[in-house]
C-alpha cells in the first residue's frame, strides 16, 4: 500500500532515503572535494532543497559522519598474520580514507562516525589490542586514542592542497613555520628547542605515524586504567 513506487515506471523523482543522501554526499566528496559537500549542494544534486535533508540528518556534521562511515567499508585488517601487522594494516586503511579527504578528518575529530563500518573498525582494533596482550580496560580506552591520533593527524593536512598524499609531502614546506620559529628562538628563551628542535622535523610523515602508533600501542600494553568502575 505504502510502497507503490515499484508499480510506476521510472518515477521522475525517487523518494529520498538516508542511504541515497549518503551515497550522493560521498560521490560529491570524491569528485569535487569535501568542501563542496554542503547541505545545499548535496540537496541540489538530489533535485531538492537543503531543508529536505534535515528530515534525515540533524545537521551537516552528522551527514559528514555518515559519509565517512560509508567510505570506511574499505578499512579492514587481514584475516591472518601477526596481530601487530594486522593492526598496522587496519589503521593504514583508516588513514588512507581520511588523508584523501582531510576536511572530512577535521569534521571527524568532533563527530565520530558510529555506523556499521566504523563499529567494525572499533571492534577489530579492540580485538587486536587484546590479542596483543593488552588488558580489556586499556584496550577499550586505547581504541579511542589510536583512532583519535590518526584522525587528528589527517586533519592537520586539511589546510593544504586536497590532492597531496601524506607519504610524499615535502617536509621543508610542512615544517616551514615551525623551523622558522625554532630558528628565531634563541637559546636563552628556548634552550631545549635551540639544542634539539631540529629533531622535530626529521623523518617522513609515514615514519612519524608508525612511530606514534608504536608509542601508543606499547603505552596501552604497559599502562593500567584506574579501575573498572563506571564514571559517576
The secondary structure of residue 176, as a DSSP letter, is: H
Is residue 18 part of the contact set for a copy of itself (CB under 8 A)? no
Is residue 142 part of the contact set for a copy of itself (CB under 8 A)? yes
Residues 15-54 vs DNA: string with x where CB under 7 A? Answer: xx-------------------x-xxxx-----xxxxxx-x
Provide the grid cell at 138. 586499556
Compute the least distance from the CB of residue 46 to a copy of itself, in Å: 25
Give the start-end residues of each E strand in 81-199.
none
* Closest-CA residue to 92 (of 116, 127, 124): 124
Residues 74-113 vs a copy of itself: string with x where CB under 8 A? Answer: --------------------------------x--xxxx-
Residue whose entry in the numeric block shows the C-alpha cell 566528496 = 29
Which one, 93 or 225, has the nearer CB to a copy of itself? 225
For the stretch 72-103, what's the b/e string if a residue is b when 16 or more beta carbons lie within 10 angstroms of its beta carbon? beebbbeeeeebeebbbbbbbebbbbbbbbbb
Is residue 59 part of the contact set for DNA (CB under 7 A)? yes
In the complex, the residues that contact DNA under the rule CB under 7 A are: 13, 15-16, 36, 38-41, 47-52, 54-56, 59-61
Amino acid at each position: 500500500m505504502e510502497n507503490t513506487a515499484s508499480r510506476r515506471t521510472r518515477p521522475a523523482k525517487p523518494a529520498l532515503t538516508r542511504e541515497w543522501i549518503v551515497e550522493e554526499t560521498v560521490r560529491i566528496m570524491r569528485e569535487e572535494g569535501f568542501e563542496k559537500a554542503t547541505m545545499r549542494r548535496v540537496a541540489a544534486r538530489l533535485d531538492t532543497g537543503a531543508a529536505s535533508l534535515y528530515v534525515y540528518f540533524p545537521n551537516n556534521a552528522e551527514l559528514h559522519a555518515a559519509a565517512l562511515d560509508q567510505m570506511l567499508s574499505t578499512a579492514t585488517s587481514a584475516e591472518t598474520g601477526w596481530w601487530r601487522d594486522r593492526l598496522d594494516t587496519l589503521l593504514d586503511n583508516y588513514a588512507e580514507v581520511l588523508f584523501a579527504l582531510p576536511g572530512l578528518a577535521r569534521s571527524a575529530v568532533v563527530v565520530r562516525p558510529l555506523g556499521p563500518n566504523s563499529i567494525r573498525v572499533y571492534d577489530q582494533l579492540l580485538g587486536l589490542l587484546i590479542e596483543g596482550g593488552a588488558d580489556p580496560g586499556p584496550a577499550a580506552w586505547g581504541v579511542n586514542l589510536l583512532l583519535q591520533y590518526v584522525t587528528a593527524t589527517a586533519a592537520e593536512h586539511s589546510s593544504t592542497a586536497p590532492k597531496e598524499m601524506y607519504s610524499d609531502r615535502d617536509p621543508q614546506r610542512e615544517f616551514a613555520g615551525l623551523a622558522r620559529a625554532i630558528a628565531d628562538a634563541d637559546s636563552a628563551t628556548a634552550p631545549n628547542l635551540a639544542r634539539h628542535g631540529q629533531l622535530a622535523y626529521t623523518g617522513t610523515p609515514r615514519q612519524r605515524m608508525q612511530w606514534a602508533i608504536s608509542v601508543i600501542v606499547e603505552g596501552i600494553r604497559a599502562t593500567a586504567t584506574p579501575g573498572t568502575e563506571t564514571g559517576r
